[in-house]
Amino acid sequence: MTTFRLPDLGEGLAEAEIVEWHVRVGDRVEVDQPLVSVETAKAVVEIPAPYAGTVSALHGAPGEILATGAALIEFEGGATVVGSMPPTSPDELIEHARPGRDPGEPRHGADSRRVRALPAARALAQRLGLDLGSLHGSGHEGQITIEDVLAAAPLQQATTPPATPAPAGHAQELAEPLRGARRTMAQSMTAARDEVALSTVFEDADIDLWLDSGAVMARLMRAIVAGCRAEPALNAWYDPRTSSRTVHPQVDLAVAVDTADGLLVPVIRDVGGKTAAQLAAELDALKSAAHARRLSPEQLRGYTIMLSNFGTVAGRYATPQVVPPAVAILGAGRTRRAAVPGAEAVAVHRVLPLSLSFDHRCVTGGEACRFLAAAIADLQSPE
Amino acid sequence: MVEAIAMAHGWEMQHDERVVVLGQDVGANGGVFRATLGLQQRFGGDRVQDTPLAEAAIAGMAVGMAAQGLRPVAEIQFMGFLYPALDQIVNHMSRLRYRTRGRLSCPVVVRMPHGGGIHAPEHHSESVETMLCHVPGLRVVCPSSPARAYGLLLAAIRDPDPVMFLEPARLYRAVRQDVEDDGRALPLDTAFTLREGGDVTIVTWGAMTAETLRAADELAGRGIDAEVIDLATLSPIDTETILASVGRTGRLVVVHEAARNVGLGAEIAALVAEHALYDLLAPIRRVTGYDTVMPLYRLEMDYIPGVERIVAAAERTMADSR
Amino acid sequence: MRTVAEFRVEYSQLLGPDGDAVGDLPPFARDVEELVRMYRMMTLARSFDVKAVNLQRTGQLGTYAPCLGHEATHVGVGAAMRAEDVLAPVYREVGTQLWRGVTMREILVYWGGDERGSDFAVPRGDFPWCIPIATQTLHAAGAAMAFKIRRERRCAVAYIGDGGTSEGDFYEAVNVAGARALPVVFVVVNNGWAISVPLCAQTAAKTLAQKAIAAGIPGVQVDGNDVFAVRQAVSSALEAARDGRGPALVEAITYRLSDHTTADDAGRYRQAAEVERAWRIEPLLRTRRFLEKAGLWDEDRERALLADCAREVEQAVAAYLSFPKPEPGAMFDHLFERAPAHLAAQRVMATRRADRAGGH
């Protein structure tokens, strides 16, 4: 059987409507004999037989619309298909080659003493105050890549002063590019803001009974562990792509450390499994490393919940930002004396203001409040 | 420069009887700029023809004449009057060889003044070379000195395919140079390095070479060593010369009189970005005419980039890479 | 007030629709072989034309501009020209091209989307089909200028349609031809329609021949369905041009019996009755009747001729359909005699892509 397909009858026509068949199944037709009248967007045209033969099938009744390339009529015998253009293969895109040079061949004329670097890598190195000449290029033809610059950054930053700011003159030249931790903060906070359904709940813990009033951080860490025991849902990761959460049995607490170069958030592992003294020692070590910029990437990764004790500086309440994949952060404000209504009289007690932010996509308000209640209960015990 | 152009015509007409000149006022008048001065007296009215005042006819007849074995050199009086001829140039002149698989061809030169700076009336100061460079099948040439005008015009006439020959109007009489009438052509695919320097490559062509060379002098006084390249053949572009220079300097400034938007400078910048990005020490800068109409002559020198703008761009490029 | 110049436009017809001679016949009309040759070519052009439309309708040819109804004009012009003359066609003059030696296979290759169709083996100097309206008239003027400069006794012939005479290039061409007394003849094929726009909407001029008068050159009108009148008018115009007496314009009045192209549907803008009337005065029938009345033709000869034409057309179609697709690299060939380096590189790229895609 030979299939004759509806050709493009105009210039780029996609379909045609069958107006009238001039032949019937079983008819013997001669070449160029009119087969069918069809109407396209441009014209009513008569399609002739491309070759002689006996009609074995007609496709489409009058009024029916056929797409260009659809089977129109079939003839007995043969196998030639006419009326259809060969399909065009999708083709990969290639960059234009330059005359007379293979892509791998080094360019003549280029100054071989010049360090070859990706423009973005060059700019980054300049911002970080790195000397490109001292870097190893791992890219094509030895080009220095962004990764090469980043790999060298911590090593050189300890010894190299930051790049001298450009002389003032234009507003743009006064702008200082964000570097290092500050740049990371900008990126992660932007992502967090765009993603997290942030809710914050505020409450004060009455710490008037505390025996050791200087142990705020150790008590906060213990309170978080208490909160997580009461509501493990806050010690969790949320993955929006799969709409799944991972509730962690162990509390790995990220602690915000404010440094001159920006916010750093090192992680203390297994807070629940450590004594107050261990926690205090570990925290001190991490803080020192943060200020000296000697934190390893591992020390900055894998937290399950976060703590920000901004009250060491100033401030009562805040809306601390949850940074995914974690779902909760506890913020502690400055302790203060506050009037506390007793059963019969108003007393003045020391209180610790708390702000608990949580990602409402994954954590319910009830869970957050129960966590907060448990944490406050723990904080309000004398030791 | 204008004498060098007339001289090149004369040499080639003397040595190749297929060469004929046609255009408005090219005969007894010798052309409105005198670029064909004395040719009709020397070679007669058949070979130096005044046409009716019809640009499409000049270009269309050049197609017909060339297809039948002549080598027409056609003059369009000003680039602003080129547009009626574009149909013939784009639809036929550029592709007759292609369409007939080499059976017929169009060895035509279409000459026209290019650019402003001569206090001419409206529509007389255009620089729309980009339009021509975009057309496949055309070569586009723009000389910047009498010697290069002579050598490049000879090459254009001898070329077997159509060549658009843009003559910087403000150099016609501004630049004087002794040129040997020796019939030696210059290559149509090679840019000319007018000044060598290691700090920044400045690519330009036509009349802007004058401002650019002055800017290079000024930059030298400020400790910046500029390399100045006269593109000369605007299509096809001599990529090798530009890339070799940028490979040495790591910095590129493109200077042209034509408007900036989709100007030839953009093509050069793209070529360098594609092939030499990793050699660049600073972003590429363009110093161009503005994206507005070429103003009447009281403002034309405000439109045409001056030495100051070129110097500032080069300095900024140097500062960007420090 | 006084009259400073007066003009007339003459109309000529030698053969009426019924096949009777209505004027003094020129010598070629007494040459039996030549008459049969002309009729044969008109018939071949029509056979080819019908087949070409069918090839398009069955997806085997691209857009095609039929010549149905123009056969007398096209063959008349072809027969009037000499081999050494140069033709600048529009895109419909199959009869002229066939007469001059272009093959049906070449014509099909062109409309089948392949530039090689314009690389005629014969005649090497003719211009290829010309789609941008009226531009070809200037090429003919330029060719004529070349002949004149070289003192060659050759002429150029430019075709143009009725709509084309509204274009500036046409006026520039007749003007320069007149001003320089160029050996060129402009044949205006007035078929009444510029796609969908009738002549009355195209111009207020009573004739198109009179447009020559403004250029200072002779303009005549002929019955374009009368192959004798066309050949006679164009022959005498060419003779004058060859003798250095300058150009002329011949307006041939005919009718486009077909759609403008296969992408058009003339039923949308013109009346069936008008087409019906035009069929009654179409060119082949009157030529055949003339031959029959002269005792030179009969039913058997007609049948044999149609069979011959059909066979020739079939052979050309077969040769066209088996003509291989050009290599992708061909799109870079012949753009320049010496390809610039960047084109050579792009050519390699296009060829490699095609190889990877599996040879399309």
Same domain assignment for residues C120 and C245: yes
Chains sharing 3 or more CB pairs under 8 A with chain A: B, C
% of residues, chain B, pLDDT over 70: 100
pLDDT class for B249, splitting at 50, 70, 90?
very high
Class of domain A119-157: few secondary structures
Please report the pLDDT score of residue B322 as a whole number.
63
**What pLDDT, on a 0 to 100 scale, did the predictor assign at position A115?**
79
Residue B58: per-residue pLDDT: 98
Q: Comparing B34 with B320, which gets the higher pLDDT?
A: B34
pLDDT per residue as tens digits for the range C158-200: 999 999 999 999 999 999 999 999 999 999 999 999 999 999 9
| CA-based nearest residue in chain B for residue A117 | B278
User: Which residues contact residue B12 at a Cβ distance below 8 angstroms, ignoring those fewer than 6 apart?
Assistant: B19, B153, B154, B157, B158, B183
What's the whole-number average pLDDT of chain A?
A: 82
Question: What confidence category does residue B209 fall into, taking pLDDT thresholds of 50, 70 and 90?
Answer: very high
Mean pLDDT over the full length of chain C: 96
Average per-residue pLDDT in chain B? 96
Q: How far is the C-alpha of C280 from the C-alpha of C271, rounded, in Å?
A: 15
- Gap from A66 CA to chain C (nearest CA, Å): 15
B284 in A contact zone (CB under 8 Å): no
**Per-residue model confidence (pLDDT) at position A84:** 44
Note which residues in 73-112 of chain A have CB less than 8 A from chain B.
Answer: 95-96, 98-100, 107-111
What chain B residue is nearest to C146 in terms of C-alpha separation?
Answer: B65
- Does A82 sit within 8 Å of C341, measured CB to CB? no
Cα angle value B95/B100/B104 (rounded, 5°) = 80
When CB atoms are compared, the residue of B243, B277, B281 closest to A109 is: B243
In 3D space, the residue among B127, B124, B107, B125 whose CA is nearest the CA of residue B116 turns out to be: B125
Which residue in C95, C73, C48 sits closest to C192, CA to CA? Answer: C73
Residue A79 confidence class, pLDDT cut points 50, 70, 90:
very low
**B275/A98 Cβ within 8 A:** yes
The pLDDT value given to residue A93:
36
* The predicted structure's pLDDT at residue A166: 45
Same domain (yes/no): C313, C342: no
Residue B92 annotated in active site: no
The yes-or-no verdict on residue A110 having pLDDT over 60 is no
* Same domain (yes/no): C231, C335: no
State the Cα–Cα distance between residues B253 and B265, nearest whole angstrom: 9
Q: What is the pLDDT of residues B99-147, one digit of tens each?
A: 999 999 999 999 999 999 999 999 999 999 999 999 999 999 999 999 9
Closest CB to C59 among A44, A84, A99: A84
With a CB cutoff of 8 Å and minimum separation 6, the contacts of C314 are none
Q: What 3-state class would DSSP assign to A191?
A: helix
B69 contact residues in C (CB cutoff 8 A): 146, 150
Answer for the pair A339, A348: CB distance below 8 angstroms, yes or no. Answer: yes
pLDDT digits (tens, 9 = 90+) for A136-183: 888 877 888 888 888 887 655 444 444 444 444 455 556 777 777 787
Domain boundaries, position C341: 327-360
Number of residues that make up chain B: 322
Q: Enumerate the active-site residues of C.
A: 256, 260, 269
Residue A120 or A354, more confident: A354
Q: Do C319 and C338 lie in a common domain?
A: no
Phi then psi for A237, rounded to 5 degrees?
Answer: -115, 145
Per residue in A50-71, pLDDT tens? 989 999 999 999 999 999 899 9
Over the stretch C223-257, which tens digit does the pLDDT of each residue have?
A: 999 999 999 999 999 999 999 999 999 999 999 99
- Residue from the list C63, C344, C360 with its beta carbon closest to the beta carbon of A99: C344
Angstrom distance (rounded) from CA C260 to CA C258: 6
> Residue A354 pLDDT more than 50?
yes
Cβ of B247 and A108 within 8 Å? yes
- Model confidence at A98, pLDDT cuts 50, 70, 90, reads low
Let me know if residue C1 belongs to a domain. no
> Binning pLDDT at 50, 70 and 90, where does residue A26 land?
very high
Nearest to A114 among B240, B250, B274 (CB): B250
- As a whole number, mean pLDDT of residues A207-223 equals 88
Q: Residue C297 sits in a domain of what CATH number?
A: 3.40.50.970
The whole-number average pLDDT for the span A359-378 is 94
Euclidean distance between CA atoms C321 and B96, whole angstroms: 26
For chain C, the domain total comes to 2
Same domain as C338, residue C308: no
Over residues C281-310, the mean pLDDT reads 97
Q: Using an 8 Å Cβ cutoff, are B252 and B246 in contact?
A: yes
Which CATH code fits B2-171? 3.40.50.970
- Determine contact, residues A179/A162, Cβ cutoff 8 Å: yes
Please give the average per-residue pLDDT across A267-282, as a whole number. Answer: 90
Question: Using CA atoms, how far apart are residues C179 and A214, in angstroms rounded to an integer?
Answer: 109
Are A110 and B281 in contact (CB < 8 Å)?
A: no
Same domain as C355, residue C228: no
pLDDT at residue A179 in the model: 74
- What ipTM did this prediction achieve? 0.94
Residue of C50, C54, C58 best to disrupt the A interface, most CBs of A under 10 A: C58
At A74 the pLDDT is 92
Q: Place A86 in a pLDDT band, splitting at 50, 70 and 90.
A: very low
The yes/no answer on whether domain A2-75 falls in CATH 2.40.50.100 is yes
pLDDT average, residue stretch C30-34: 94
Beta-carbon separation of A43 and C267 below 8 A: yes
Rounded to an integer, what is the distance from CA A187 to the centroid of its chain?
10
Q: Per CATH, which fold does B192-320 belong to?
A: Rossmann fold (3.40.50)
Ranges of each domain in chain A: 2-75, 119-157, 183-379
Q: Which tens digits make up the pLDDT trace of C107-147?
A: 999 999 999 999 999 999 999 999 999 999 999 999 999 99
Question: Based on the domain organization, do C338 and C301 belong to the same domain?
Answer: no
DSSP one-letter string for A97-154: PPTT--TTSPPTTS-TTSPPB-HHHHHHHHHHT--GGGSPP-SGGGPBPHHHHHHHHH
Q: Pick the more confident residue, A106 or A126.
A: A126
Task: Check residue A168 and give its pLDDT.
Answer: 46
Judge whether residue B260 has pLDDT over 50. Answer: yes
Average pLDDT over residues B18-28: 97
Q: Among the listed ranges A60-69, A355-364, B186-195, which one has the minimum average pLDDT value?
A: A60-69
**C 264-303 near A (Cβ less than 8 A):** 264-265, 267-268
Question: Within a domain: residue C5?
Answer: no
Q: Is residue C359 part of a domain?
A: yes
Residue C161 pairs in a beta bridge with C189
Total Cβ atoms within 10 A of residue B68: 23
Pairing of strands B48-50, B71-75: unpaired
Chains sharing 3 or more CB pairs under 8 A with chain B: A, C
Burial of A2 (0-12, 13-18, 19+ CB in 10 A): middle
Q: Where are the beta strands (DSSP E) in chain C?
A: 11-12, 86-88, 156-161, 184-190, 193-194, 197-198, 219-223, 248-253
B87–C146 C-beta distance less than 8 A: no
Annotated domain spans of chain B = 2-171, 192-320
CATH number of the domain located at residue range(s) A183-379 in this protein = 3.30.559.10
Give the nearest chain C residue to A90 (CA atoms): C357
Interface contacts (B, C; CB < 8 Å): 148
Distances (CA, A) of C18 to C14, C281, C285, C303, C314: 11, 8, 8, 20, 31
Q: Residue A96 has what pLDDT?
A: 43
CB contact under 8 A, A45 and C50: no
Question: Which pLDDT value is given to residue A140?
Answer: 78
Distances in whole angstroms, Cα of residue C311 to Cα of each of A29, C104, C304: 19, 12, 11
Q: Give the per-residue pLDDT at C23.
A: 82
